[in-house]
Chain A
Amino acid sequence: MSPLKIEQGTSRHSAYDLRASFAEIQESHTLAVIVDNEPGVLARVIGLFSGRGYNIESLTVAETDHAGHRSRITIVTTGTPQVIEQIKAQLGRMVPVHEVHDLTVEGPAVQRELALFKVVGRGEARIEALRLAEIFRANVVDSTLQSFVFEITGNSEKIDAFAELIRPLGLKEMARTGAAALARGG
């Protein structure tokens, strides 16, 4: 599929590049939405998803262009191909939305999440947790005699895998961000 850069009020994505038929399979897509950083813009985007019954798997937002007051909202969503196209069209026609990128179809992209894990324990479990952290390239960002806080970045599968393994080793608490994603290459 051709690279997409969906400008305001266009529908190259939905109208011109629609797949052969309305398939029923659920797909996961990562969307990058460039918006004016104005009050209420996040509520607007979230309200679109809840109001029309679309899924949000994760959502990350921050101002990425301070001079232009633009924010980048990264949304991981799931739906049938038709629903995904609708979501992009609905986002694209919102007044404060400048661009909608579907990183899942625009080409290869890197996607990262960040998570913090607090692990409490002593003895063998504590050593095992450190060893695991090393394998997953997690950093120790806080330590006491009976606890560690690990910081890990990666795609969601990697973080899921780390969480799975660390759980029996005294996992106390975990905090996790949504995804940040960028297309690869120039």
Chain B
Amino acid sequence: MREMTGAKMVVQALRDQGVEVVFGYPGGAVLPIYDELFLQNDIRHILVRHEQGAVHAAEGYARSTGRPGVVLVTSGPGATNAVTGIVDALMDSIPIVVLTGQVPTFMVGTDAFQEADTVGITRPCTKHNWLVRDTDRLAETIHQAFHVAVSGRPGPVLVDIPKDVQFATGTYLPPARARTDHYRPRTEGDPAQILRLVEAIEEAERPVFYTGGGVINAGPEASRLLRALVDATGFPVTSTLMGLGAYPASGRHWLGMLGMHGLYEANLAMHGADLMINVGARFDDRITGRIKDFSPGSRKAHIDIDPSSINKVIRTDIPILGDAGRVLAEVLRIWSERGARTRREAVAAWWDEIGRWRRVDCLAYRASATTIKPQFALQRLEAATRGMDRYLTTDVGQHQMWAAQFLGLEAPNRWMTSGGLGTMGYGLPASIGVQVAHPEALVINVSGDASWLMNVQEMGTAAQFRLPVKQFILNNERLGMVRQWQQLLHGERYSQSWSESLPDFVRLAESFGARGIRCDNPAELDGAIAAMLAHPGPVVFDCVVEKHENCFPMIPSGKPHNEMLLGEARTEGAIGAAGAVLV
């Protein structure tokens, strides 16, 4: 047992949790902790330029490493600025530990300078949060916070630490002695349900695997087992935006992403399936479309670690509560022991049908020799970087969907995007967090002009810490996704969906000490991308693209999967008034 100040305890607890890097921003209520950070060399601190950036950077770090990301911010505005990132991490199940300073305990409740009810504000947007009133409880609370963040369905947690608690002396408790036993979510699937799934696999004629971020959160072994099971059964596999990379895009059974902007073949396979095996996805409305018509003929198995995900929106026939990796291992083992049987002829016929859908070539677009089509830009980026040690982040909008469609993910933990919350401004700070974790890797943020400006200040962070992140901005001078919806849903009334007064991205980059590259000619694109990749430092790539390109396929809100819009389809009036109410 060691006596030390609360501030020292914070640093010691982080060290004992194996934390190597903290993303943060100082202020009055965390000065004692910053002082302790100054006095040591084990933990690196990345100074962001806005607390939202700290959380997204920690998310990028967490998603690309599988380890929790750590954030340190001050009270009041420091904490409130972090809220968007915290909600983002909650929606996408990213393990984040946020440490916030708070006014001294004797001033709590007095509207003190920079006081905000941080635990009150973040209660609904964390898995759990704590206000620590006693230095003796501080170390244990931090250890518990790490435990909760990574156990079961991962997510953000927050520990609010009043300044007097940081100054006071208490007894340090090492991680092994912290009480964490009562929060132990179940990870082993029910054997009876697993057996039912195995039997369903043996009987299925039109099966499909529908996988999500849960497979990635379950660790690389879960992705390996998914590949093994998919390839052994020969069943087709599709994935949500969050699950990309769990099964390789080059894999034989890959259908591409599903959902609102998912591939035709993936969505029709979901619609026509007789067995759907959901592994770590949550039947989000971007996936299901109209609930009533969602995959009407399928038996649905759902493997999930969160009991509240099962039967939340879609009735499940075979519910399996547990860790995706452990359940997949059991399914594979039992199915193999029983003879690894499938209805091979029926499944082959199913593949023939899928093949016909594939030939629709739903990602086809009209090429242009004079303007860069955003799809073309991503195809060229893909061609130039495929096979590299590559990590991708995105912002939110059309570019995000195109990136998911045109960039092939071959491995888990290589794709960071804001799925559940859809947070514009996520991509740049997330790319910084990824690059901090993987200094040698190629990290590209595929962004849009509007999203990118939302956290543009983080270019300062990239420059200061010499993080060679590549910002690939598909600049359509529009809030493209908003414009697309206005075109399709609101009679082409483009209300406030222009990007007026955009900066000169090249000079903006240079003002941060980064490299700026602008390209508006398809013929020069390959050379410009090569220049971006060759530059050893951060690059802002202003890729000037077609302004009114729409992202297809698209399942309009409120429509079932088999009522999808394709690129060449006549799109005006395609979405009814009922669909316009949905977002």
Contact = CB atoms under 8 A, between A and B. Distances in A.
Interface of A: 8-11, 14-16, 18, 21-22, 36, 39-40, 43-44, 47-48, 51, 82, 85-86, 89-90, 92-96, 98
10 contacts: A8-B185, A9-B185, A14-B308, A15-B316, A16-B319, A18-B319, A85-B311, A90-B308, A93-B152, A93-B185
Given A40-B119, A95-B127, A98-B182, A11 B310 contact: yes
B469 to A, nearest CB: 35
B123 A8 contact: no
B307 A95 contact: no
Nearest to B151: A9
Contacts of B153: 93
Contacts of B185: 8-9, 93
A47 B120 CA distance: 10
A39, A47, A85, A89 — which one has the most chain B CB atoms within 10 A of its CB? A89
B321 interface: yes
A40 B123 contact: yes
B148 interface: yes
Contacts of B46: none
Contacts of A89: 307-308, 310, 312
Contacts of A22: 315
Given A9-B152, A92-B307, A47 B183 contact: no
B120 A43 contact: yes
Contacts of A48: 124
Nearest to A91: B308
B315 A21 contact: yes
Interface string B150-162: 0011000000000
A113 to B, nearest CB: 29
B306 interface: yes
Contacts of B2: none
B308 A10 contact: no
B186 A9 contact: yes
A8 B305 CA distance: 12
Interface in B500-558: none
A96 B185 CA distance: 13
B184 interface: yes
B97 interface: no
Size class of B's contact patch?
Answer: 20 to 34
A82 B311 contact: yes
B382 interface: no
A14 B128 contact: no
Contacts of A47: 123-124
B123, B311, B315 — which one has the most chain A CB atoms within 10 A of its CB? B311
B131, B307, B315, B319 — which one has the most chain A CB atoms within 10 A of its CB? B307
B123 A15 contact: no
Given A89-B307, A90-B308, A94-B128, 10 more contacts: A8-B183, A10-B307, A14-B310, A22-B315, A40-B119, A92-B308, A93-B306, A93-B307, A96-B128, A98-B182
A100 to B, nearest CB: 10
Contact of B308 (A16, A21, A86, A98): A86
Given A40-B119, A40-B123, A47-B124, A95 B183 contact: yes
Interface in B285-320: 306-308, 310-312, 315-316, 319-320
B42 interface: no
B334 to A, nearest CB: 19
A43 B310 contact: no
A14 B319 CA distance: 9
A8 B311 contact: no
Contacts of A82: 311
B190 interface: yes
A34 B107 CA distance: 32
A94 B182 CA distance: 11
Interface in B122-140: 123-124, 127-128, 131
Contact of A14 (B120, B190, B307): B307
A9 B183 CA distance: 8
Nearest to A95: B128
3 shortest A-B CB distances, which residue pairs?
Answer: A11-B307, A9-B185, A15-B319
A48 B125 CA distance: 11
B316 A9 contact: no
A14 B123 contact: no
A15 B307 contact: yes
Contacts of B148: 95
